[in-house]
Amino acid sequence: MAKKKKPVLKRAPTAGERAKWQKHKRRQRLIFIMGVLVIVAVLALLGYGYYDRVYQPDHAEANKLHKTVIQVNESKVSLEYVIDMTRFYNWLLQQQQQQQSTLQSYTIDDVAKQIEYHELLRQAAPELGIALKEGELETQLKSFVLPKDAPEDLTEAQYLKYYRETLKARQVSDKEFRDWVTANLLLPKLQDYLKAQVPKSAEQVHVQGVLVEKSMATEVADRLVFTGDSLDTVAKGVSLYTASKDNGADLGWLPRGIMGTKFDEAIFALEPGVLSQPIDDETGQKAGGVWMVSVLEKVPDRAIDDAQAPSLANKAFNDWFPQRLQQGLNSGQVVVTLNDAIRTWATQYVAEHQKTQ
């Protein structure tokens, strides 16, 4: 029978040994805590550096990009939207000006105005009875996206690949691209609508007139009033308006809306046979030019002829957008918060993030 081993008795530590062991444990705990604090400090410094150099600038930039700078009723437009469309409009412009040595470009304000116009048109379209036909938008999108050599039997997946590549290359989102295409489809429909609104008849005046430099206005008036020269004679010698220069200075029958507001105000208030005061030219025929006119006849209601109707329709179309915008600004339906600081930052952002097209 095996003998039982006697238990080994351990000596109890002395008071000095216990004090030394406790001191050692405290030292280890202190070293551990100091190590953790050092690691935390290093991580904090790294985190702050990332926040200061990366996160904070990126976050501030994102806040600026997402800031609403245009609002038309309930529709809000961010600065990022305006920037993206500025790049897109300038790309379109470059395609048109490839043969020119000097290229123009759209500014942030130019594009913001176009966005305002397009949004006003989109919102007004239903009340004007203007709408896209079924499938019209998708057909137009494909005409912009697909290359000429694209196969006719494209699958939906293949088309979507072309579409995504186009958006990436032009640096626009799906919404931005669709908004632009939609507006361009609605524009001719608005022209047709306004053309149909041209009245069949209107008050008109038969006018003779000569367009001259403002510095010559007094001389021309003296010739017409004191020397007995006719408008026909004066026009042949000095008129800047070639369309009537050799036609007896005859401007024809004019309803309101063709020659400009100042011109209309003058001629419709003028009695037949009386020479007008100089009228600033608003037609763009001559910068700084003035009209000297005389009314031959007036009728309260005369048929609008085929030559007048397109001019009236074009005038209505050109006036529609600025008039709608001004109404919206006055009523608070349109709010624009672009300022010099935002314009400067956005212009610099466009330049720094512009891809070579």
| Residue 251, φ and ψ in degrees, nearest 5 | -95, -5
Specify the higher pLDDT residue, 97 or 141: 141
Q: Does 300 score more than 50 pLDDT?
A: yes
Q: Which of 119-123, 219-223, 233-237, 314-318 has the highest mean pLDDT?
A: 119-123
Tokens 């007139």, located at residue: 209
Q: Which of 29-38, 147-156, 305-314 has the highest mean pLDDT?
A: 305-314
Band (285; pLDDT cuts 50, 70, 90): low
The pLDDT assigned to 1 comes to: 53
Tokens of 184: 């361009």
The pLDDT assigned to 198 comes to: 95
Neighbours of 132 (CB within 10 A): 16
b/e sequence 197-229, b meaning 16+ C-beta within 10 Å: ebeeebebbbbbbbbbeeebbeebbebbeeeee
The residue ranges of DSSP E strands in 82-237, in sequence order, are: 201-213
For CA atoms 163, 164, 167, 168, the dihedral sign is negative
Give the whole-number percent of the chain exceeding pLDDT 90: 60
Identify the CA nearest to 291 among candidates 302, 303, 275, 306. 275
Q: Does 122 score more than 70 pLDDT?
A: yes
| Residue 72, φ and ψ in degrees, nearest 5 | -120, 105
Q: Is 275 exposed, middle or buried (0-12, 13-18, 19+ CB in 10 A)?
A: middle
Alpha-carbon distance of 270 to 105, in angstroms, equals 44
What are the residue ranges spanned by the domains of the chain? 23-57, 76-94+105-197+318-352, 205-303
| Residue 343, φ and ψ in degrees, nearest 5 | -60, -45
Q: Does 59 score more than 70 pLDDT?
A: no
Specify the higher pLDDT residue, 23 or 69: 69
DSSP SS3 for 72: strand
The pLDDT assigned to 7 comes to: 58
Q: Is 44 exposed, middle or buried (0-12, 13-18, 19+ CB in 10 A)?
A: exposed
The pLDDT assigned to 262 comes to: 92
Band (209; pLDDT cuts 50, 70, 90): very high
The pLDDT assigned to 225 comes to: 86
pTM over 0.85: no
Mean pLDDT of 256-270: 92
Q: Which of 58-72, 152-166, 335-349 has the lowest mean pLDDT?
A: 58-72
Identify the CA nearest to 251 among candidates 311, 200, 201, 195. 311
Q: Does 54 score more than 70 pLDDT?
A: no
Specify the higher pLDDT residue, 62 or 110: 110
Identify the CA nearest to 233 among candidates 242, 241, 224. 224
Give the whole-number percent of the chain exceeding pLDDT 70: 85
Please tell us whether the domain made up of 205-303 is placed in CATH 3.40.50.800.
Answer: no
Identify the CA nearest to 86 among candidates 53, 115, 57, 59. 115
CA distances from 345 to 245, 254, 304 (A): 51, 48, 50
b/e sequence 13-36, b meaning 16+ C-beta within 10 Å: eeeeeeeeeeeeeeeeeeeeeeee
Band (296; pLDDT cuts 50, 70, 90): very high
Q: Does 121 score more than 60 pLDDT?
A: yes
Provide the Cα torsion 315, 316, 318, 324; round to 10°: 150
